[in-house]
């Protein structure tokens, strides 16, 4: 007779409350190793896997069907109660791979949910910024890095959270994270690093202005001059993205007024890899275009004029690009027309 009656499906709020009970069991205040409790724990983990999968189906839809907005809203509202998000994040390392992947997708989706134009996750995170520290430190644990990384990127879509990370002592750790020997982890960290430095324009401009010296010293020495080709390639591409953004115009002028910085870019132009050469050119052209070039930069451009003109005469890319050709022609013209006496007069 038991098989004739199916239990009624849990509503979204009931599902979250059930999940909360399971999380408290999975992450108890006083762990036990008793055989009976271990077996019971396995049963609860199986129950958890079903529960988190059901949540994923609510948020993403199933079999091509669109998710029901009302169900998503109910799930989101209940999730923000009683620190359920915190419990789930803290418990992620204790889950098996499949459950962890589903839980990560649930958290990232919840972070994007809006109710009456309000981001519930943003409001929660602003009052629980210590969670961001937990997520950042995930890059130091190879088992959890690829789960915490995507969640962190969703969190920093919130401007106040991004500002918190940029201003924290942990920001400096990203120079190590993006050089992790594990390619997947370093790539994930690089994606987060880029998000931090490009998404929120005004916040990034303020951060770079206030932290110009230490930030670019680390950026130049650790990333642009890294022995790792992929690190150099990502770094010079991101540098171009930052300096060419109008919000960072003051930072760009400061960067391209440094002879040391230009020397690094000139060395990168000599790289055999075309991709690095091209990205380096997009930054190098800013040094050349600077209307107020310091005398020492003019001097280096003049002393290397013949080498630079010879380099640019054979510097091409694989596909036709009118903008690239125009930029290259302008760089060649400026270098060709450089006059030390005229520049000295301009500086005066």
pLDDT in tens, 176-196: 999 999 999 999 999 999 999
Contact (Cβ atoms closer than 8 angstroms) between residue 288 and residue 244 = no
pLDDT value of position 2: 47
Instruction: Give the integer Cα–Cα distance in Å for 166 and 204.
Output: 8
Model pTM score? 0.89
DSSP state of 221: I
Q: Which residues contact 91 (CB under 8 A, 6 or more apart)?
A: 23, 26, 27, 103
Phi, psi (deg, nearest 5) at residue 119: -90, 105
Which residues, given as ranges, of the chain have pLDDT below 50? Answer: 1-2, 4-5, 342-343, 345-348
Q: How far is CA 304 from CA 116, 154, 158, 167, 298, in A?
A: 60, 46, 46, 40, 10
Q: What is the pLDDT of residue 36?
A: 58
pLDDT, position 29: 54
| Predicted pLDDT at 50 | 93
- Answer for the pair 90, 27: CB distance below 8 angstroms, yes or no: yes
Report CA 192 to chain centroid distance, whole Å.
1
* 77-128 tens-digit pLDDT: 998 888 899 999 999 999 989 999 999 999 999 999 988 888 888 888 889 9
Which positions ≥6 away from 219 have C-beta within 8 Å?
Answer: 175, 235, 239
pLDDT computed for residue 348 by the predictor: 44
């Amino acid at each position: 007779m038991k098989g004739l009656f199916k239990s009624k499906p849990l509503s979204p709020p009931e599902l979250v409350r059930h999940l909360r009970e399971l999380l408290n069991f999975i992450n108890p205040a006083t762990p036990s190793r008793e055989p009976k409790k271990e077996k019971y724990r396995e049963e609860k983990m199986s129950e958890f896997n079903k529960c988190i999968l059901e949540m994923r189906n609510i948020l993403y839809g199933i079999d091509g069907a669109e998710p029901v907005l009302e169900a998503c809203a109910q799930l989101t509202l209940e999730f923000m109660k009683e620190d359920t998000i915190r419990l789930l994040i803290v418990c992620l390392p204790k889950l098996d791979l499949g459950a962890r992947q589903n839980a990560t997708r649930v958290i990232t989706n919840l972070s994007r949910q809006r109710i009456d134009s309000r981001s519930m996750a943003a409001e929660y995170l602003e009052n629980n910024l210590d969670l961001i520290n937990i997520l950042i430190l995930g890059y130091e644990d190879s088992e959890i890095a690829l789960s915490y990384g995507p969640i962190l990127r969703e969190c920093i879509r919130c401007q106040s959270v991004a500002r918190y990370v940029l201003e924290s002592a942990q920001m400096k750790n990203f120079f190590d994270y993006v050089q992790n020997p594990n390619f997947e982890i370093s790539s994930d960290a690089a994606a987060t690093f880029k998000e931090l430095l490009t998404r929120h324009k005004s916040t990034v401009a303020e951060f770079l202005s206030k932290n110009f010296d230490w930030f670019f010293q680390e950026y130049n020495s650790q990333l642009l001059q890294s022995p790792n080709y992929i690190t150099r390639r990502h770094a010079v591409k991101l540098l171009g993205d930052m300096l060419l953004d109008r919000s960072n115009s003051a930072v760009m002028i400061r960067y391209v007024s440094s002879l040391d910085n230009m020397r690094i870019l000139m060395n990168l132009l000599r790289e055999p890899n075309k991709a690095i050469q091209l990205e380096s050119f997009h930054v190098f052209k800013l040094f050349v275009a600077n209307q107020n070039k310091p005398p020492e930069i003019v001097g280096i451009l003049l002393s290397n004029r013949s080498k630079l003109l010879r380099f640019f005469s054979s510097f091409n890319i694989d596909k036709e690009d009118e903008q690239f050709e125009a930029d290259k022609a302008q760089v060649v013209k400026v270098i060709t027309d450089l006059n030390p006496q005229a520049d000295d007069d301009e500086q005066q």
